[in-house]
Structure 1
Amino acid sequence: MTNLIRIAVVAFLLSGCISAHSQSMPYKSWYLGFTAPDYMEVWIETADVVDIQDHTYPRAMSGVASISTPPNNSGEPRGWPRIAGIGKGKNVTGADLPQQIYVRWQSLVEPQTYLMVIKIPEATRELMRKGEKVFCSYGGEGIVGYRDSIGIGLVPGGIAKVWVGGSCLTPIEVMTVKAVVDPRGPYEGKAGGHHRPLSEVSKAYVEKFGVPYDSWK
């Protein structure tokens, strides 16, 4: 093997090591999830992520948020949960920790289309990097856990609350964000102003009780 080939191989291996350790987090991927209160259905058109390496991940999440729609109006949509769930979502594979998250969604009970940019501060990323000793009942022993998930709660009126959490760790609320109305309407104006339909069970609740906007202030 010539010196030139040796140098090329070493450079390749070093670049692989650098790439493998370039992420600033102690796990392979983090999770992005969304929730909505009972009956307050939302449709996420897109959630795009920009990580701290300035790499963009379009449509890191889209579709429905985690929600309950109990029959006979027996649910309770009012107020924020005492302990938030991370919600329905996906792992943002290949990304470093987030710098910002762009979300455009439809609030189906209003109906209205909102958009916002969630700027993730360094303090939140530090929470996601920090390992904590925790006892998981299903494992029967203590482990080092990480808050490797971001949960975003979306409510009518365009308010979003953000938590970070992880397996066996209590979620921590990190911020509240007020979105703006997208004047283009649903799907950036490409749907003729037509939002996705509200389910019959949610429609029945809203027609009887209305939308409890004041409970999410």
Structure 2
Amino acid sequence: MKSVIALIGALLLMGCQKGGFESGENDPRSPWWQIGFVEPNYMKIWVEDSSVLDINNRMFFRVGGKSAPGGEPEDGTESARGWGTVGGSGVLVTGAELPRMIFVRWQSISEQKTYKGFIEIPEEARQLMVQSTRQRCPKTPERTARYSATLLVGLAPGGVLQAWVRDSCHRPIKVSHAQGELEPLGPEQGMHGGRYAYPVSEKAKRYIDKFGIPYGSW
């Protein structure tokens, strides 16, 4: 009897070690994932269109929002260089499996130009998206795992696209980079008389006059 009890105890211990306090397998989670957009400081964007091709080769049109979180800190530094703090949330892509490719057409307000481009999402990124909702952050194992996976797409002057996935600790992990092209029809594909969604802000004008647009830093 003692040997049986010892065996059961050993099996229970192995199970605890395998799952651990960091396992989020039984935590609540959404069946869908989120997509959001990112912009560098002062480099405001407006998303005209965004679509997702999922791993089952199904297309989902007009996903995500129209704008991105950004800032104009006027702190005297070249804060538009690089992506800075990659923040923001996303919009659920209801019905879609994990993403294979993202299409975006957007207005680069600081340049008054319109770009379009595709960015591929690699298998490693999809694995990270799955893991982010099934494993708790090791730093805060008492908290439940992320409710939904998040893909962030950065859009920058010159037609640059960059993608991040948030890990189990909400940290943005860079997973892909791509180069878009100019949209020859202009904003809203030639509608609305070629007008852009916004003018260049006064703060952005002052920044660009002083530092320029940091092409190549994204």
* Bin of the TM-score, shorter chain as denominator length: 0.7 to 0.9
User: Which stretches of structure 1, 4 residues or more, deviate above 4 A after TM superposition?
Assistant: 71-75, 142-147
User: What one-letter code is carried by the residue in structure 2 that aligns with 1:118?
Assistant: I
| TM-score calculated relative to the size of structure 2 | 0.75
Instruction: Tell me the matched-pair count.
Output: 187
Task: Tell me, yes or no, if the aligned pair for 1:45 and 1:62 is still in contact at 8 Å.
Answer: no
In the alignment, does 2:214 pair up with 1:212?
A: yes
Unaligned runs of 5+ in 1: 1-25
Task: Tell me, yes or no, if the aligned pair for 2:164 and 2:172 is still in contact at 8 Å.
Answer: yes
Cα deviation, residue 55, structure 1: 2.8
* Identical residues among aligned pairs (%): 40
Cα deviation, residue 199, structure 1: 2.2
User: What one-letter code is carried by the residue in structure 2 that aligns with 1:177?
Assistant: A
What root-mean-square deviation, in Å, do the aligned CA atoms of Structure 1 and Structure 2 show?
2.4
Cα deviation, residue 90, structure 1: 1.1
Structure 2 counterparts to residues 51-200 of structure 1, below 5 A: 51-71=54-74, 76-81=79-84, 84-85=86-87, 87-130=88-131, 131-135=134-138, 137=140, 141=142, 143-145=144-146, 148-166=149-167, 168-196=169-197, 197-200=199-202
Say if 1:124 and 1:36 are closer, same or farther in 2 by CA, change over 3 A. same
| TM-score calculated relative to the size of structure 1 | 0.75
Residues 104-156 of structure 1, C-alpha deviations (whole Å, 9 max, x = no match): 0011111211101122222221221223341465xx71544587110111111
Distance in 1 between residues matched to 2:89 and 2:72, nearest whole Å? 15
Distance in 1 between residues matched to 2:75 and 2:126, nearest whole Å? 42
Unaligned runs of 5+ in 2: 1-28
User: What one-letter code is carried by the residue in structure 1 that aligns with 2:203?
Assistant: V
More strand by share: 1
